[in-house]
Amino acid sequence: MPIPFDPPPSPTPDEFPMAGPIAPVDHKVYQLPDPQRYALDQERQRHIEALYRLGEYAMFVLMWNLRDFDKGLVTRCSTCWGADASMKRRTAEVYKQAEKNDCPDCFGTTFEGGWKAKIIRPSLWDFGEDLDADGRRGQTITSAAAVQSTHDFQMHTGDYILRGDGNRWRVSSMSSIHLRVGFEVPLAERNIIAFNFGQAMREDESSPSYSLTPDTTGLREILDVTRPRFPLDLTDFEDFRDGAILLDSYETPRVGEA
């Protein structure tokens, strides 16, 4: 059907008596296209294929955060935040900070246990040059990298990524890629192709992240697979705390339980 030269006139207020005092819409557009779900599915599939074609397995260690705490999924760390009703706890509540940083039990998150999930996903890395950094642990040599992974979980700043060479990275900034496929409000679960598209900094070996299991030897054995040819089932090496959710926007089935 040829596209009409001029779109049909907008309805007049008389045709919509319920519109009341609000001015009638007078935006001349030819059509509002339906969202094209297939385009999103295809783009997600291409992204996953790119991850497996040029990427590598990595272990993503998702840490408890304030959102989880506000939802009641986790409690404060009893080591650095103090036991219930203790003076230490009350002091921490007032000042909204723990007695010490780098708590070995919660990895500095102030939430019980520190991590909520360890999952293995394909990842694609783009590395920067080494940087000399002056930090609270003295001068260290670090490196920044852009990293991306699949859309079925959500990383936050402060999460860790453990690579198959034994190096550990801390997520420093996050973004996600949406694909607009029609006229609608974009929602995380609807439109995201790659949830996890962000910057990570390599951790110095003095970082508490090095006490996260598995150790370097274990990481190499699990993640450094040569020529797997097909995606491997690595769920045996994954771990979830009770109540852990992988996406903030809605609860998603855990890997292997879908």
Interface residues toward Zn ion, by CB under 5 A:
77, 79-80, 103, 105-106
Terminal CA-to-CA distance of the chain, rounded, Å?
A: 44
Least Cβ distance, residue 83 to Zn ion (angstroms): 12
Rounded Cα distance, 140 and 158, in Å: 18
Which CB, 77 or 246, lies closer to Zn ion?
A: 77
36 versus 97: smaller Cβ distance to Zn ion:
97
CB atoms near residue 51 (< 10 Å): 20
CB of 239 to Zn ion, least distance (A): 19
Tell me how far, at minimum, the Cβ of 89 lies from Zn ion, in Å. Answer: 12
Beta carbons within 10 angstroms of residue 68's beta carbon: 21
Residues near 216 by beta carbon (within 8 Å), at least 6 away in sequence: 166
In the chain, DSSP assigns E strands to 56-63, 115-135, 138-148, 160-163, 168-178, 192-202, 239-240
**CB of 88: closest distance to Zn ion in angstroms?**
11
Q: Which residue has the tokens 């319920």?
A: 18
122 versus 208: smaller Cβ distance to Zn ion: 208
Provide the token pair at 203: 């951790």
* CA neighbor of 207 nearest in space, from 148, 146, 130, 138: 138
Cα separation, 236 vs 188, in Å, equals 28
Q: How far apart are CA 148 and CA 197, in angstroms?
A: 4
Our CB check for Zn ion shows the closer of 80 and 120 to be: 80
Which residue number, 56 or 105, has a Cβ lying nearer to Zn ion?
A: 105
The distance of closest approach from Cβ of residue 246 to Zn ion in the complex, given in angstroms and rounded to an integer, is 23
Instruction: Name the residue nearer to Zn ion (CB basis): 10 or 97.
Output: 97
Q: How far is the CB of 105 from Zn ion (least distance, A)?
A: 5
